[in-house]
Amino acid sequence: MSVDDKTVHRIARLARIAVPEEEISSLGTELNAILGFIEQLSEVNTDDILPMTAVVETEIKRREDAVTDGGYVKDITANAPASDDDYFAVPKVVE
């Protein structure tokens, strides 16, 4: 598997990262080198092997249903690049 320019464009869009047109093909080359490296895994027989999603062998922690947090709108919006009346503000979204 190797990525072409079109695929680089598609991934960049999915990841919401602007890539200047002149960097697309060199980025593709870099990605292909990395993909070539990780493709070694296809050598490994993983039939009947369960994927390992967590290394922690314990039960998920539970929280009680109680309101213990929130109520600090100023802290929540303090670092916002743009806000208005305690709302975050973004360029207008058209559906």
Partner 1 sequence: MSASKLTDLSLAEARDGLRQKDFTSEELTQAHISAMEAGRKLNAVILETPEKALDMARASDAKLSNEEGGALEGLPIGVKDLFCTKGVRTTACSKILGDFTPPYESTVTQNLWDAGAVHLGKLNNDEFAMGSSNETSCFGPVNNPWRNKAKETNLVPGGSSGGSSASVAAHIGVAATATDTGGSIRQPAAFTGTVGLKPTYGRCSRWGIVAFASSLDQAGPITRTVRDSAIMLGAMAGHDAKDTTSIDTPVPDYEAALGANLNGKKVGIPKEYRIDGMSDEIEELWQQGIDWLKDAGAEIVDVSLPHTKYALPAYYIIAPAEASSNLARYDGVRYGTRLEGDNLLEMYEKTRGAGFGAEVRRRIMIGTYVLSAGYYDAYYLKALKVRRLISEDFKQAFEKCDVLLTPATPSSAFAIGENLDDPLAMYMNDVFTVTVNLAGLPGISVPAGLDAQGLPLGLQLIGQPFGEEALLGMAEKIEQAAGFDARPDVWWE
Partner 2 sequence: MSEATNDNLISGATGDWEVVLGLEVHAQVLSEAKLFSGAATEYGAEPNTQVSLVDAAMPGMLPVINWKCVEQAVRTGLGLKAQINNYSVFDRKNYFYPDLPQGYQISQFLQPIVGEGEIIIDLEDGSTKTVGIERLHLEQDAGKSVHDQHPDLSFVDLNRSGVALMEIVSRPDMRSSAEAQAYVKKLRAILRYLGTCDGNMEQGSMRADVNVSVRKQGDPLGTRCEIKNVNSIRFIGQAIEHEARRQIAIIEDGGSIDQETRLFDPKNGETRSMRSKEEAHDYRYFPDPDLLPLTFSQDFVDEIAATLPELPDTKKARFMSDYGLSAYDAGILVAEAESAAYFEEAAKGRDAKTVANMVIGSLFAGLNKAGLNIVDSPVTPENLGALVDLLSDDTISSRIAKDVFEMMFEEGPDQGKSPSAIVEEKGLKQVTDTGAIEAAVDEVLAANPDKVAQAKEKPKMAGWFVGQVMQSTGGKANPQSVNKLVLQKLGIEE
What CA–CA distance (Å, rounded) separates 2 from 32?
Answer: 6
CA atoms within 13 A on the CB side of 42: 6
Size of site (CB under 8 A) for partner 2: 36
Nearer Cβ to partner 2 (34/56): 56
Minimum CB separation from partner 1 for residue 62, in Å?
Answer: 9
Q: Of residues 3-62, which lie at the interface with partner 2 (CB under 8 A)?
A: 14, 16, 53-54, 56, 58-62
Size of site (CB under 8 A) for partner 1: 54
Q: Are residues 73 and 85 in contact, defined by beta-carbon separation less than 8 angstroms?
A: no
Kindly report the number of other CB atoms within 10 A of residue 48's CB atom: 5
Partner in contact with 39, chosen from partner 1, partner 2, none, beta carbon below 5 to 8 Å by kind: partner 1
Kindly report the number of other CB atoms within 10 A of residue 8's CB atom: 21
Helices 24-38, 5-14: crossing angle, 10 deg rounding: 90
Nearer Cβ to partner 1 (67/93): 93
> Using CB under 8 A as the criterion, which residues of the chain lie in contact with partner 2 when the complex forms?
14, 16, 53-54, 56, 58-71, 73, 75-77, 82, 84-95
